[in-house]
Amino acid sequence: MKISRLKVLSTLFFVLTFVIATGYFFKEYRDSKNKVVFIQRSVTVEDFKTAKIEEMKPKDNNTVTSNNTSSNVESTEEENNSTEEVEEVVEPEIVYDGLTMDELASKLDRTLASTLAGKGYLYASYCLERGVDPYLAVAISMEETGCAWGCSNLVVSCNNVGGMKGSGCGSYSAFSTIDDGIMAFIDNIANNYVAYGLTNAELMNPKYAENPLWASNVNAYIEKIRNR
């Protein structure tokens, strides 16, 4: 009988201990679960707040785009400045009578005709090289050759544009090409007239032509050339 009671008491003690232990572990399990839930909720709230803050911030793409736009504007300005420096305007040189070389050549071409048409640049450039007045040279050619209407045979056959005496074309000088004839004519004025101070038609007349009206005819051509 005593043994039976002892067994009962042992069994009750075991059951009681099991219940208490089970309750304790159940309580710990519940508390730990609540902590996990609380932590998860806290993380979720913080994440939500962080997400909201990130949405309120300017987008990185916009910042990059803005930076790129600024860089592009600066680059464009630098390129424009560079282009402006490279494309610095150089004023054409004035060579005679307020004209550039091209303008002078065009003015002379408006008088030169027939066989001498288009030779304005040669007259202009070589006259200035030799120190001869280009208006004067063209005017003498017009007087000596009649090229204002139709060049004389002396020009057509002998390329002599100044009535220069010599040989090869009767008593006149002959030249291989019209350009050679023009340059020889300008050399003649430079070497035999300008070099001695005979720089205009009046001073040249006694030596260049027997006709006393030669100078006035040449000056009339000079005025036409200047006013065209």
Which of 86, 109, 138 is at the close of a domain?
86
Q: Which two tokens stand for residue 186?
A: 């300008």
* pLDDT tens, residue by residue, 7-36: 666 667 666 676 676 666 666 666 655 554
Please check whether residue 164 is in contact with residue 172, taking contact to mean a CB–CB distance below 8 angstroms: yes
CATH number of the domain enclosing 105: 1.10.530.10
* pLDDT tens, residue by residue, 97-141: 999 999 999 999 999 999 999 999 999 999 999 999 999 999 999
The answer on 152 and 128 residing in a single domain is yes
Please check whether residue 142 is in contact with residue 201, taking contact to mean a CB–CB distance below 8 angstroms: no
Of all residues in the chain, what percent are helix, strand and coil, respectively (each to 5)? 70, 5, 25
The answer on 122 and 26 residing in a single domain is no
What is the DSSP track for 174-205?
--SSHHHHHHHHHHHHHHHTGGGT--SHHHHH
Q: How many domains does the chain have?
A: 2
In the predicted structure, residue 63 carries a pLDDT above the cut 60? no
The answer on 217 and 109 residing in a single domain is yes
By residue range, what is the domain housing residue 58?
A: 2-86
The answer on 119 and 36 residing in a single domain is no
In the predicted structure, residue 56 carries a pLDDT above the cut 90? no
What is the pTM for the complete model shown?
A: 0.63
Which of 60, 86, 112 is at the close of a domain?
86
In Å, how far are 20, 31, 36, 186, 208 from 23, measured between CA atoms?
5, 12, 20, 131, 144
Q: Which two tokens stand for residue 11?
A: 């069994």
Please check whether residue 72 is in contact with residue 80, taking contact to mean a CB–CB distance below 8 angstroms: no
The answer on 114 and 77 residing in a single domain is no
The answer on 221 and 145 residing in a single domain is yes
